[in-house]
Amino acid sequence: MGSSATSQEDLSLLVGSSELLMKALQSAADKGDKIRLKKKCEVLLRRAESLKATLKSSPTHLRGEDGSQMRPAAKVETEMPSQVSQLSTREQVILLRSSKVNGFTFPPWQPTADHIDFALSSGEERFRYVDEA
């Protein structure tokens, strides 16, 4: 296989080759051909699984389509999602009916809440669960 820059390409080629072998296996008439194709397919799948495990375990798997190194974002900014379209009356009724749990009604979220309502004040920390047992 190639360098880590092309490992993602190698993986997609292995998977594609395996798929082609599976199609050939389905259309093969000779029993000897079927056995040979099945063994080759198993070998390619094992190599693909091994490569995939290597990619997941190494930080070099963060690569763009062009092979360039991608870095994880330092901080993710959260934005309030904007509703694309209005819900129909039927969809609103479904949401209201499904919001009843154990005799309590939990109405659907309304996007009128201000983003500042959820921002931490200066010196405030996020909630952490502390087991006092």
- Can you give the residue range of the structural domain that contains 10? 4-61
Is 21 part of a structural domain of the chain? yes
Is 107 part of a structural domain of the chain? yes
Nearest alpha-carbon partner for 28 in 37, 19, 20, 17: 37
DSSP-assigned letter for residue 67: S
Among 61, 79, 104, the domain-final residue is 61
Residues 15, 56, single domain; the answer is yes
Label residue 58 exposed, middle or buried (CB < 10 Å: 0-12, 13-18, 19+): exposed
Indicate if the alpha-carbon torsion angle 90, 95, 99, 105 is positive or negative: negative
Among 25, 45, 61, the domain-final residue is 61
The mean per-residue pLDDT over the stretch 37-49 comes to: 87
Tally the domains of the chain.
2
Q: How confident is the model at residue 2 (pLDDT cuts 50, 70, 90)?
A: very low
Q: What is the pLDDT of residue 29?
A: 85
Is 11 part of a structural domain of the chain? yes
